[in-house]
Amino acid sequence: MSRAWERARRGAVFLGAVFVSSVWAFHWMFQKSMLESIYWTVITIAGVGYSQSVDTEVPDSRQFLSIMVIVFGMLAMAYTLAMLVQAIVEGQLDKVLGAKKMSKEIEKLQQHVIVCGFGRIGQNLTQRLARHGVSFLVIDPNPDAIAVAKTLGYICLEADATDEGVLTTVGLDRAATIVLSIPSDPENVFLTLTIRNLNPKITIVARGEDPRTEKKLLQAGADQVVMPAIIGAERIADIIVRPEASELLRCVGHESGFNAELEEFTVADSSPALGQPVRQTAAEHQLMIVAIRRASGETIFNPNDEERFDEGDIVVVMGPEADIEHFYEAHIACTVASCELGVAGCGL
């Protein structure tokens, strides 16, 4: 609540107190009926009055009471109305100026991520994207969710993502990825169809609740489908069946003090690692080269020491964040043009 609205609320409370006190005083002091007391209080505070001349039969106490009611009542009414007008004007100005500022920020975005839905999954996702320096914006029709996003400093839009005009506004044609984290399978299927028609090249990552929806989402055009319920169940099963391996996987990220990361980098034509064997590039760093994804599509897990890096290869490494950074600087030297952001992104 803004300060103007808070002051208007206090003014309304004071005006109400003046009204009740006046009705009670007139009814008690002059033995008038409750209806007449309310009528007298209303016309007195409103400035209407009984007549333009002073009635000589009206006792001094009543005239004094009328003066007090007029003074305090008019002041309370004027203050309350002024604060209401100020609050309305400030709200409209903030809304207009905020919308213009947000539009300018959206226009600057290129190859960004659009997150549709700012619930629990959307909030955790954006936290990780922000940590890795990935450009993104949030769409959600819930004003409370958007208020949280604004508090975190995110670029956001209070709107329905299923509206084609909204998708155009957020730069769907310039975006690299769109994430559908709406907790409704029918909406996600419909939105996937809409997005795929508007931008055939964009990567669509869709959330699914019902396992039967996964096939529909893929048929609608989703590139990847994430099932939170299934992932959660698999995680619980891993804790029970293989607790040590599960604990190691949990350490990959910022959820524990181990502070390990799983990152991927693209080997460009200017990368020092080009043509070098895995043994040479990994020897100086406390990390593991988990896999190499060749430009041809072949994936080599746990590559041997003699495996060499070719142009266009995507290297997946795991280890402490500092060692990954050193590996990146020494062997990848990726730039904005040559480093393709993946799930985790370069972000170093």
211 and 123, same structural domain?
yes
Q: The domain spanning residue 114 has which CATH number?
A: 3.40.50.720
128 and 73, same structural domain?
no
Domain end position, chosen among 40, 73, 104: 104
Residue 246 lies in a domain: no
118 and 70, same structural domain?
no
Residue 244 lies in a domain: no
- Over residues 43-95, the pLDDT tens digits come to 877 766 655 444 556 676 777 777 787 778 778 888 878 877 776 766 555 55
Q: The domain spanning residue 306 has which CATH number?
A: 3.30.70.1450
| Sequence letter at residue 77 | M
190 and 158, same structural domain?
yes
Cα–Cα dist 19/46, whole Å: 11
210 and 119, same structural domain?
yes
Do 340 and 314 form a contact (C-beta atoms < 8 A)? Answer: yes
Please report, in tens digits, the pLDDT of each residue of the chain (348 residues total).
556 667 777 778 888 888 888 888 888 887 778 888 888 788 877 766 655 444 556 676 777 777 787 778 778 888 878 877 776 766 555 554 556 677 788 888 899 999 999 999 999 999 989 988 899 999 999 989 988 998 998 998 888 988 888 898 899 999 999 999 998 999 999 999 999 999 999 999 999 999 889 999 999 999 999 999 888 888 888 888 878 777 766 666 544 445 667 788 888 888 888 888 887 776 667 778 888 888 888 888 888 888 888 888 888 888 777 777 888 887 775 443 334 433 333 433
H or E stretch at 317: strand 314-320
Do 140 and 122 form a contact (C-beta atoms < 8 A)? Answer: yes
Going by C-alpha positions, the residue among 339, 267, 344 that lies closest to residue 113 is 344
Going by C-alpha positions, the residue among 244, 323, 340 that lies closest to residue 285 is 323
Residue 48 lies in a domain: yes
Cα–Cα dist 44/199, whole Å: 66
Cα–Cα dist 167/139, whole Å: 9
Encoding tokens for residue 270? 């200017």
214 and 159, same structural domain?
yes
Residue spans of beta strands (DSSP E) within 153-202:
155-158, 177-180
Residue 341 lies in a domain: no
Cβ-Cβ contacts under 8 Å for 270 (sequence gap 6 or more) = 333, 335, 338
3-class SS of residue 20 = helix
49 and 34, same structural domain?
yes
277 and 177, same structural domain?
no
Cα–Cα dist 173/20, whole Å: 61
β-strand partners of 246: none
218 and 113, same structural domain?
yes
96 and 10, same structural domain?
yes
Total number of domains constituting the chain: 3
Domain end position, chosen among 104, 121, 138: 104
Residue 170 lies in a domain: yes
Domain that holds residue 150: 109-232
3-class SS of residue 29 = helix
Cα–Cα dist 42/134, whole Å: 61
Residue 220 lies in a domain: yes
Residue 316 lies in a domain: yes
Going by C-alpha positions, the residue among 224, 310, 315, 338 that lies closest to residue 263 is 315
119 and 41, same structural domain?
no
Residue 238 lies in a domain: no
Phi–psi pair at 126, nearest 5 degrees:
-65, -30
Do 2 and 91 form a contact (C-beta atoms < 8 A)? Answer: yes
287 and 226, same structural domain?
no
